[in-house]
């Protein structure tokens, strides 16, 4: 089933038993007789959205930019050099068709008139020596025949290919021929030259390599996707689906059939989408990759992050019908309207579409009402289709909790979560799905990526993602799909970083994150095995100073007391004196009339008291809000300004109560939000009990939170499974620490063949990245080794992701 991934620069000698000793020895037990659950083949996939010129200027092999003159700036990508008196411009009278209304018209009245029309693509057009390219153009002559010279020139103006076309018809005609150059051209241009007298119209100007994948896609980029072996392809978005208005929303019917009949439009990401790759190509690509297509539909709501335009309920029929028609287009036979259309467009076999997503990063009552309409009407006709419900762009907080509550109560099949977070968050939340309800909706993590400082595609980001993915794999009974995002980025044309694959007009390089994705997809087991890790007992008790804080709010505090579990008072302050014993981090803090007052309305105002090593204590304080948009912050476990806990009462615009934890300055929620509002002028008694890593929060005597903090760093992150076809145990281990870890691996109820294939992704520094000049700076290395028995020792390198494939038969 799985083809092991091999990239060899040099062999790394990794002895299983003879290595530098680590300080702590871990024991990892795997029981081959305890198979927990099957792993869905869709678990890890890709998300293809036209952002960063992923498609136009990227995967779409078209070398001419704006060959249809349909961009908002209709001459974008073109330059014109003309004689005085030549009239040239974009017109719409008698167009090629109603979906492609713009064309270029040039009128040259005199024999001495000449015009040169030049297109350099995206960064200059790149052509390879002796490679064939198909040039095509639609043209017509209004009064008399005209000659059009087509040439390929380099940046100096030297021509490498020239061909003359005679434009004789007054009706639109398509002309095409093959171009081949004898030299490589790295910064070339398509040059169209017209001599007078002439009156010609030009449209759909195209130059595509003859060997392009399916005739339209860049082979090198498709190979990068194919090498991943993705389980699904989510398409076409993303925010692209929503559009910046409902008129701008992605409509799949505009993207099928012959390219000249596709109705192109501006892209939400700030450029034009030609639909040279539309739903026909998407379905064909998915089939070629052996991946399930997962199309996403607009829910009748434009991008909410950018200010939503929302269709009324009586306007929803067309949006719902679009989804129903696509299912018929994908799965219908020749007797159905849209099935026949698919066959006419060249997709003979049904797609067997199973999944449909409704909306992207949508939230609120309008979205839920719209989803319910989609759900009812699609399920009536296609009950087997699994519908994907969108979460808001935030992956925690009140709107996220509200979305999940609604999904559980309304028969949702799959919930789509999007997670762009810090390296610290991904490490601390690798077990995020351990406690998810197995009887509720399944989870699709439709977009995720580690955003390190500077949003770099370095090894550290990749290791954070790998640690998180071990949790996805272990919990693949509830998480059934996950995709890194974004997938591709054309250098110099990006809107979003980091990205999985970087390219220009000629080259491609992949990131450490790409190798993590590839290693997981290429080594996907069939079932998850029971496994457990014994390691040195970690002291993860909550320790640190206590403190008070506000967020965009002026508040008063009256009498704070902290005592230990035996009732001994550790510190107290009635604020009758000054606040000199307190350490101010931010804010305007002062004591007046027995009250501690904070008068700044800025964010994150804090003050601390106590010792850094305090643990197992209770804090009680009275607080009153004077004015502002939120409530109070009660701090505990404060190590320093970047590592602390706080109970946020009246947070999220004074709607909720929640406990948050900060690691290296990156805050995360460690519990679900509870609705709570703080009323100005009222006194509240707040109490926090800290015992070990358990936190209990009381508001006016009422228990609001009872939480055990599991959002902690671990020494190692791992998952273990079994591949039936290769008869191998597949063990994945991530060590994101700066020191190596010695582990005793004990495999129970197995008959080992004593053959191990190891694949290791690591580098000298977690800051290292790949580039065009050094594309293999961070890449995996594979080797084969042998073991003597079912219990062996392995040293996991520092800052590494390791896969062991151990040949084994079960003895059960």
Cβ atoms of 516 and 466 within 8 Å: the answer is yes
Buried b (16+ CB within 10 A) or exposed e, 689-720: bbeebebebbbeeeebbebebebbebbbbbbb
Cα 162 from Cα 185, distance rounded (Å): 15
CB 750 within 8 A of CB 720: no
- Cα separations in angstroms, 548 against 267, 356, 610, 628, 666: 46, 47, 12, 16, 19
Rounded CA-CA distance 233/484 in Å is 11
Q: Report whether the peptide linkage leading into residue 767 is cis, meaning its omega lies within 30 degrees of zero.
A: no
| 728: nearest Cα among 760, 759, 755, 761 | 755
Nearest to 732 by CA among 740, 724, 722, 742: 722
411 SS3 class: coil
CA distance 394 to 403: 11
> Which of 271, 263, 261 lies closest to 240, judged by CA?
271
- Are the C-beta atoms of 648 and 606 separated by less than 8 Å? no
Cα–Cα dist 64/119, whole Å: 6
Angle at 407 between CA 401 and CA 413, to 5 degrees: 135
Pairing, β 781-786 against β 146-153: unpaired
Are 232 and 301 a contacting pair, CB within 8 Å?
no
Query: Alpha carbon of 632 to those of 331, 508, 530: distances in Å?
Result: 55, 50, 44
Give dist(CA 164, CA 26) in Å, integer.
74
CB 373 within 8 Å of CB 313: yes
The catalytic site residues sit at 361
């Amino acid at each position: 089933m799985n083809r092991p991934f091999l990239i060899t620069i040099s062999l790394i000698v990794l002895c299983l038993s003879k290595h530098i000793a680590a300080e702590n020895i871990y024991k990892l037990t795997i029981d081959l007789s305890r198979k927990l659950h099957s792993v869905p083949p869709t678990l890890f996939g890709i998300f293809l959205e036209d952002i960063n010129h992923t498609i136009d200027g990227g995967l779409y092999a078209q070398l001419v930019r704006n060959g249809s003159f349909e961009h908002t700036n209709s001459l974008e990508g073109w330059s014109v050099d003309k004689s005085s008196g030549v009239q040239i411009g974009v017109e719409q009278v008698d167009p090629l068709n109603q979906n492609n209304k713009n064309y270029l018209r040039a009128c040259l009245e005199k024999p001495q008139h000449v015009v040169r029309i030049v297109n350099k693509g995206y960064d200059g057009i790149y052509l390879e020596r002796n490679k064939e390219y198909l040039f095509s153009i639609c043209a017509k002559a209004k009064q008399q025949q005209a000659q059009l010279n087509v040439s390929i020139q380099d940046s100096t103006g030297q021509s490498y290919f020239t061909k003359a076309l005679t434009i004789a018809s007054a009706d639109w005609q398509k002309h095409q021929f093959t171009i081949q150059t004898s030299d490589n051209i790295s910064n070339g241009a398509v040059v169209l030259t017209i001599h007078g007298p002439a009156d010609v119209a030009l449209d759909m100007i195209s130059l595509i390599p003859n060997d392009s994948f399916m005739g339209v896609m860049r082979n090198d980029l498709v190979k990068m996707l194919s090498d991943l072996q993705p389980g699904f392809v989510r398409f076409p978005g993303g925010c692209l689906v929503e559009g910046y208005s409902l008129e701008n929303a992605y409509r799949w019917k505009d993207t099928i059939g012959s390219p000249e009949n596709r109705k192109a439009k501006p892209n939400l990401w700030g450029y034009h989408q030609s639909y040279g790759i539309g739903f026909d190509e998407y379905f064909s690509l998915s089939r070629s990759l052996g991946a399930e297509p997962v199309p996403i539909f607009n829910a009748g709501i434009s991008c909410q992050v950018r200010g939503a335009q929302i269709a009324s309920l009586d306007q929803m029929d067309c949006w719902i019908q679009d989804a129903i028609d696509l299912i018929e287009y994908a799965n219908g036979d020749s007797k159905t309207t849209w099935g026949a259309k698919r066959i006419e467009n060249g997709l003979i076999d049904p797609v067997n579409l199973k999944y449909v997503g409704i909306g992207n990063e949508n939230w609120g009552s309008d979205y839920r009402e719209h989803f319910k309409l989609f759900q009812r009407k699609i399920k009536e006709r296609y009950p087997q289709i699994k519908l994907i419900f969108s979460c808001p762009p935030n992956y925690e907080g009140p709107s996220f909790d509200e979305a999940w509550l609604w999904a559980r109560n309304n028969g949702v099949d799959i919930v789509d979560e999007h997670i762009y977070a810090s390296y610290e968050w991904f490490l601390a939340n690798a077990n995020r799905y351990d406690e998810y309800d197995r009887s509720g909706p399944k989870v699709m993590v439709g977009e995720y990526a580690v955003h390190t400082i500077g949003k770099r595609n370095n090894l550290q980001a990749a290791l954070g993602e790998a640690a998180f993915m071990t949790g996805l794999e272990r919990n693949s009974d509830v998480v059934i799909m996950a995709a890194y995002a974004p997938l591709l980025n054309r250098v110099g044309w990006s809107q979003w970083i980091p990205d999985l694959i970087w390219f220009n007009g000629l080259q491609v390089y992949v990131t450490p994150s790409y190798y993590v994705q590839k290693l997981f997809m290429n080594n996907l087991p069939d079932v998850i095995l029971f496994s457990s890790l014994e390691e040195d007992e970690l002291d993860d008790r909550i320790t640190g100073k206590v403190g008070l804080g506000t967020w965009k709010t002026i508040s008063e505090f009256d009498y704070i007391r902290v005592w230990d579990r035996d009732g001994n008072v550790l510190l107290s302050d009635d604020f009758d004196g000054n606040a000199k014993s307190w350490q101010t981090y931010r804010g305007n803090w002062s004591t007046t009339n027995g009250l501690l007052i904070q008068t700044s309305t800025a964010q994150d105002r804090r003050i601390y008291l106590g010792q850094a090593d305090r643990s197992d204590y209770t804090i009680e304080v009275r607080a009153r809000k004077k004015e502002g948009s939120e409530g109070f912050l009660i701090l505990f476990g404060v190590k320093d300004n970047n590592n602390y806990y706080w109970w946020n009462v009246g947070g999220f615009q004074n709607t909720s109560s929640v406990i948050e934890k900060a690691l290296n300055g990156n805050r995360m929620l460690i519990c679900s939000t509870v609705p709570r509002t703080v009323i100005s002028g009222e006194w509240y008694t707040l109490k926090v009990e800290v015992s070990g890593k358990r936190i209990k929060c009381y508001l006016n005597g009422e228990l609001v939170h009872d939480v055990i903090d599991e959002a902690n760093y671990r020494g190692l992150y791992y998952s273990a499974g079994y591949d039936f076809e290769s008869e191998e145990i597949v063990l994945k281990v991530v060590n994101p620490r700066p020191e190596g870890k010695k582990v005793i691996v004990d495999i129970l109820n197995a008959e080992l063949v004593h053959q191990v294939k190891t694949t290791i992704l690591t580098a000298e520094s977690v800051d290292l990245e790949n580039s065009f000049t050094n594309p293999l700076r961070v890449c995996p290395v594979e080797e084969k080794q042998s073991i003597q028995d079912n219990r062996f020792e392995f040293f996991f390198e520092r800052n590494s992701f390791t896969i062991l494939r151990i040949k084994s038969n079960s003895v059960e």
